[in-house]
Amino acid sequence: MTGPALEFSKVIESLAEGVIISDADGAVVKFNSCALELLGITAEQLTLKAAFDPRWAMLRADLSPLPADELPAAEARATRQPVSRRRLAVRLPQGELREIVVSALPVFSESGALVQVVSILLDISREVAVITELRIFELFFALSADLFVVATPDFRVLKVNNAVQSTLGWPSQTYLGRGLLELLHPDDVALTLVEPSEVPREVTARLRTADGSYRSIGWQVARRSTPQLGEALFLRGTDVTQRLIEQRQITRSRELLGEAFELAELAVIERDLAEGTTQLTSRLRELLQLDADAEASLDQFLAPDDLPRFRAYQQQLTPGKAPPPLQLRLRTAKGELREVRLWARRTADETGRAARELVVVQDVTQQSLLQAKLRLAERLTSLGTMAAGVAHEINNPLAFVLANLNVVKNELALLPPIPGVDLVDLRDAVAEALEGAERVRQIVVGLKPFARVDEHQRGHCDLSRIVEASLNMAKNELRHRARVVKDLRPVAPVFANEARLGQVFLNLLVNAAQAMPDGRAAENLVTVVTREEGEQVVVAISDTGSGIPAEVLPRIFDPFFSTKQIGEGTGLGLFISQGIVKDAGGLISVSSRPGTGTTFEVRLPIATGTYAGTATTPLPARRRARVLLVDDEPAILRSMERLFGKAHDLTLAYSGREALALLGAKVEFDLIVCDLMMPEVSGIEVWEQVSAEQRAIFVFMTGGPFTERAERFLATTHPPVLDKPFTSTTLEGLLQRAQSR
């Protein structure tokens, strides 16, 4: 390429516009690099020597596909007329859209034949973007729901948008050249005091509308310098009239709600989450034992163990979400422990953010106390049933073990010396076995005060025996902490529930033990005394422990009050003990000095009337007695036969049915000793079917009445009872009584 052709190529290459020259058939014969860059294609693709990327496309101005025959060059060839500034678009393979303006000029020879078509391509993307942004801004200014005002520094209006007109009701020309402050409510001077600056300032002011009313507008005001206007004020406003009305309604609703809570005497705490303020109703202050003007939050009263649960509960609170109630413990300003159930709700502001928290607190101390007492009663009933069953199962074999050991002891005492046999050692061995069996018997006897099924059952109770049993139950707790000194004098019976009194003394003994440090038993002392004072029986339990502070002493019988750490005690032991003693007509009191020790005294009235106890008093008469022994344990009957068969006439019946057959045959007896609990026909059923004369000589023997029917029968009938395991002396006393008849 030489001469003019080379010069022409240099010229079109230097142009900032894209140039494409095609011949009369549409084949591209010349182009510059600007055209390739603008279209986003290669020279091979432009000259159709390479395939186009399928993502590339020529588009109309509305971005619809552009057919090849609508290209400006094709149109110029077809019409032989120039095509001027046709707006098109190109979609590049990367997805970018580029707007272009294309002009096409046909070139003819001297003979008039079409020789070439020259296409000129101009990139107008940047200009379109600027124009679009300006148009969008104009649309935004005109159509925005916010109020836009452009004014001079002295608030003379230059321009307003449609929202100003629709909100205030004045035509746009009314504002132009007018002072915005002329529409300001006389009482709202806040807008006039704003010193406009580069940083927008916020203020709320009321403006008069066309109908004479006022709308509350929240304004943002800024000063800007522009080439066209010079210094100007730009105001952006939001109509907050309805929001302010709603806020006033909410404030009033809160006031009314607070009044409702006060009138309903509900314990409520309200927190304003935005301002961080807290309000408490008078009922909540009363519950927390707070002064009327004291400031407080609920957190500071919660038991330390329950505080994490409350914090986790608060994290679940969101507007519209209501977690289930939460039961917690709190300690009042005066130190009292309360059980409470609380409900919490959060409400949102107009933006949807949590703005307010309402917590309703219900005192459920008495309800929890009742539930705790019921649970305790259930546990004691279960313990009593188990204790009765254990006592019965141990007492039966223990009865014949003791009886047989007594037989062996008596027979050994009658034996003459035997060569090669150490009778002294044998007698000692039997004596030790009897001592061990007796210790087992005492342990089982200790279970009996705790083996009652009916907590409402009352009867004549031996306090010394109940205290002894409680000491046996607390022995393991006491032995590592203190020495026990007992002064259990014989006292008159009291009328009460034996199991419940056992619970009282056991609780006092355990408390006494826990008041002293472990491992210093030689230094510490627990003293237990029973005595009579006038018409009362007194049980005093003293310890040499740490004592109780004077400020705490008046509250130790309060429900849920405890000097122990949270989680180490329920604070119900002394409260329940006081209730049991009061229910029996008595009184429990305490005296204590810190560092010296504590004494609890239980005073109960002596029972009136005759005590229907076991008739075991031995009588001097001695003759052979006719005795019917009834038991489903053959070993018990055989052991009694060995023990008393030589001195008395014994008839053995191995079931209740067999006993009824003998008694129905009018066989005469001086004494009937019948087991209470037997399968098929029990001792109670035997009693119910015999005559009144036979009942007069009837004695029950039992290892423990562990059914409600047996408990009820003994409580209402009061028959003579021989507790298994019994000693030979006890049974001998019964036989002598029978002989006296």
Same domain? 67 vs 33: yes
Residue 571 in contact with residue 561, Cβ under 8 Å?
yes
Same domain? 458 vs 601: yes
225 φ, ψ (degrees, to nearest 5): -110, 125
Same domain? 216 vs 262: no
- C-beta pairs of 316-320 under 8 Å, 24+ apart in sequence: 317/344, 317/345, 317/346, 317/354, 317/357, 318/346, 318/354, 319/346, 319/347, 319/348, 319/352, 319/354, 320/348
Q: Which of 105, 129, 153 is the last residue of a domain?
A: 129
Q: Give the per-residue pLDDT at 615.
A: 39
Q: Could you tell me the two tokens for 605?
A: 């009235």
What CATH number is given to the structural domain containing 698? 3.40.50.2300
Structure-token match 């009872």, residue found: 721
Same domain? 347 vs 254: yes
What is the rounded distance in angstroms from the CA atom of residue 99 to the CA atom of residue 39?
10
What CATH number is given to the structural domain containing 532? 3.30.565.10
Same domain? 278 vs 335: yes
Same domain? 25 vs 117: yes
Same domain? 234 vs 262: no
The alpha carbon dihedral of 494, 496, 499, 500 has a sign of negative
Same domain? 197 vs 220: yes
- DSSP 8-class letter at 414: H
The answer to whether residue 435 sits within a structural domain is no
What is the rounded distance in angstroms from the CA atom of residue 60 to the CA atom of residue 66?
5
Which amino acid is located at 465 in the chain?
R
Structure-token match 């010069």, residue found: 7
Same domain? 178 vs 101: no
Query: Residues 22, 27, 32, 36: what is their CA dihedral angle, to the nearest 10 degrees?
Result: 130
The answer to whether residue 90 sits within a structural domain is yes
Q: Give the per-residue pLDDT at 640.
A: 83
Query: Residues 712, 713, 715, 721: what is their CA dihedral angle, to the nearest 10 degrees?
Result: -140
Question: Which parts of 273-314 are beta strand (E)?
Answer: 277-280
Closest among 244, 261, 252 to 358, alpha carbons compared: 261
The answer to whether residue 91 sits within a structural domain is yes
Same domain? 670 vs 607: no
Q: How far is CA 590 from the centre of its chain?
A: 36
CA dist 724 → 398, 636, 717 (Å): 8, 10, 19
Residue 165 in contact with residue 147, Cβ under 8 Å?
no
Q: Which of 101, 129, 157 is the last residue of a domain?
A: 129
Q: Give the per-residue pLDDT at 142.
A: 66
The answer to whether residue 396 sits within a structural domain is no
Same domain? 570 vs 634: no
The answer to whether residue 398 sits within a structural domain is no
Q: Which of 184, 209, 239 is the last residue of a domain?
A: 239
What is the rounded distance in angstroms from the CA atom of residue 603 to the CA atom of residue 505?
12
- pLDDT means per 10 residues, the chain with 741 residues, are 66 85 91 90 89 89 89 92 90 87 91 91 72 57 76 81 81 72 76 62 82 85 72 82 68 52 61 75 79 77 83 81 81 82 78 77 76 64 62 71 78 82 79 73 61 61 86 81 88 85 86 81 88 92 88 74 53 76 90 88 82 40 78 86 84 92 86 89 92 89 75 84 75 69 56
Closest among 329, 334, 339, 335 to 363, alpha carbons compared: 339
The answer to whether residue 158 sits within a structural domain is yes
Structure-token match 């009824």, residue found: 660
CA dist 450 → 143, 386, 459 (Å): 87, 10, 14
Q: How many CA atoms lie within 13 A of 105 on its CB side?
A: 6
What CATH number is given to the structural domain containing 281? 3.30.450.20
Confidence (pTM): 0.39
Number of structural domains (the chain) is 5
Q: Could you tell me the two tokens for 89?
A: 């678009």
- Helix (H) or strand (E) run with residue 282 in it: helix 282-288
Which domain range does residue 216 map to?
144-239
Same domain? 49 vs 151: no
The answer to whether residue 443 sits within a structural domain is no
